[in-house]
Amino acid sequence: MRSEPVVQVQALVKRYGDKTAVDGLDLVAEAGITAVLGPNGAGKTTTVETCEGYRKPDSGAVRVLGLDPVRQSGELHSRIGVMLQSGGVYSGARADEMLRHVAKLHAHPLDVDALIERLGLDSCGRTTYRRLSGGQQQRLALAMAVVGRPELVFLDEPTAGLDPQARRATWDLVRDLRADGVSVILTTHYMDEAEQLADDVAIIDAGKVIAQGSPEQLCRGGAENTLRFTGRPGLDVGSLLKALPADCTAAELTPGSYRVGGKIDPQLLATVTSWCAQHGVMPEKISVERHTLEDVFLELTGKELRS
Amino acid sequence: MTTAGTYTPKPGAAPLPRMIGAQAALETKMLLRNGEQLLLTVIIPTLLLVLFSTVDIIDTGKGKSVDFLAPGILALAVMSTAFTGQAIATGFERRYGVLKRLAASPLPRWGLMTAKTASVLVTEVLQVVLLTAIAFSLGWSPHGNPLSVLLLLILGTAAFSGLGLLMAGTLKAEATLAAANLVFLLLLVGGGVIVPMDKFPAGAQDVLGLLPVSALSDGLRDVLQHGAGMPWGDLGILAVWAVVGLGAAGRFFRWE
Distance CA A125, CA A145 (A): 20
Count of domains for chain A: 2
A146 neighbourhood in chain B, CB within 8 Å: 7
Confidence bin at A222 (pLDDT 50/70/90): very low
B4 neighbourhood in chain A, CB within 8 Å: 179-180
Mean pLDDT, residues A233-254: 90
Distance CA A76, CA B11 (A): 10
What pLDDT was estimated at residue A262? 81
Confidence bin at B133 (pLDDT 50/70/90): very high
What pLDDT was estimated at residue A303? 62
A69 and A215 fall within a common domain = yes
Compare all CA atoms of chain A with the CA of B100 and give the residue at the minimum distance. A88
Asked if A149 reaches chain B (Cβ–Cβ under 8 Å), the answer is yes
Distance CA A138, CA A231 (A): 47
B109 neighbourhood in chain A, CB within 8 Å: none
Q: Is A29 helix (H, G, I), strand (E, B) or coil?
A: strand
Asked if B56 reaches chain A (Cβ–Cβ under 8 Å), the answer is no
A53 neighbourhood in chain B, CB within 8 Å: 103-104
Nearest to B96 among A80, A91, A108 (CB): A91
Q: In terms of residue numbers, what domain contains A96? A: 7-220
Surface of A (111-140) touching B: CB under 8 A:
114, 118
A215 and A258 fall within a common domain = no
Taken in order B121, B189, B65, B39, is the CA torsion positive or negative? positive
What does the pLDDT look like over A137-149, one tens digit per residue? 999 999 999 999 9
A90 and A186 fall within a common domain = yes
Asked if B108 reaches chain A (Cβ–Cβ under 8 Å), the answer is yes
B29 neighbourhood in chain A, CB within 8 Å: 97
- B133, HSE (Cβ side, Cα atoms, 13 Å): 5
Mean pLDDT, residues A126-144: 94
Q: Is residue A2 part of a domain?
A: no
A196 and A240 fall within a common domain = no
Where residue A255 sits, what CATH number does that domain have? 3.30.70.1560
Taken in order B84, B90, B93, B95, is the CA torsion positive or negative? negative
A214 and A250 fall within a common domain = no
What pLDDT was estimated at residue A161? 85
Mean pLDDT, residues A299-306: 70
What pLDDT was estimated at residue A40? 87
Alpha-carbon distance A154 to nearest alpha carbon in chain B (angstroms): 11
Q: Is residue A307 part of a domain?
A: no
Q: Classify each residue of B141-157 as buried b or exposed e, where b means 16 or more C-beta atoms within 10 Å of its C-beta.
A: ebebeeebbebbbebbb
Q: Flag whether pLDDT at B245 surpasses 90.
A: yes
A113 and A236 fall within a common domain = no
Among residues A220, A240, A271, the one where a domain terminates is: A220
What does the pLDDT look like over A29-79, one tens digit per residue? 999 999 999 988 899 999 999 999 999 999 999 999 999 999 999 999 999
Nearest to A92 among B18, B30, B101 (CB): B30
Distance CA B7, CA B4 (A): 8
What pLDDT was estimated at residue A1? 47
Q: Flag whether pLDDT at A88 surpasses 50.
A: yes
Inter-chain CB pairs, A–B, below 8 Å: 120
Mean pLDDT, residues A158-182: 94
Mean pLDDT, residues A90-111: 96
Q: Is residue A1 part of a domain?
A: no
Q: Is residue A141 part of a domain?
A: yes
Average pLDDT, chain B: 93
**Size (chain A), residues:** 307
Q: Flag whether pLDDT at B1 surpasses 60.
A: no
Q: Is residue A304 part of a domain?
A: no
A253 and A164 fall within a common domain = no
Q: Which of A97-101, B80-84, B154-158, B201-205 has the lowest mean pLDDT?
A: B201-205
Distance CA A134, CA A98 (A): 16
Q: Between chains, do A88 and B101 touch, taking CB under 8 Å as contact? A: yes
A211 and A233 fall within a common domain = no
A134 and A242 fall within a common domain = no
Among residues A199, A220, A241, the one where a domain terminates is: A220
Q: Which residue has the higher pLDDT, A31 or A161?
A: A31
Interface confidence (ipTM) of the complex: 0.89
Q: Between chains, do B106 and A110 touch, taking CB under 8 Å as contact? A: no
A250 and A142 fall within a common domain = no
Nearest to B106 among A78, A110, A180 (CB): A78
Q: What is the number of other CB atoms lying within 10 angstroms of the CB of residue A259?
A: 16
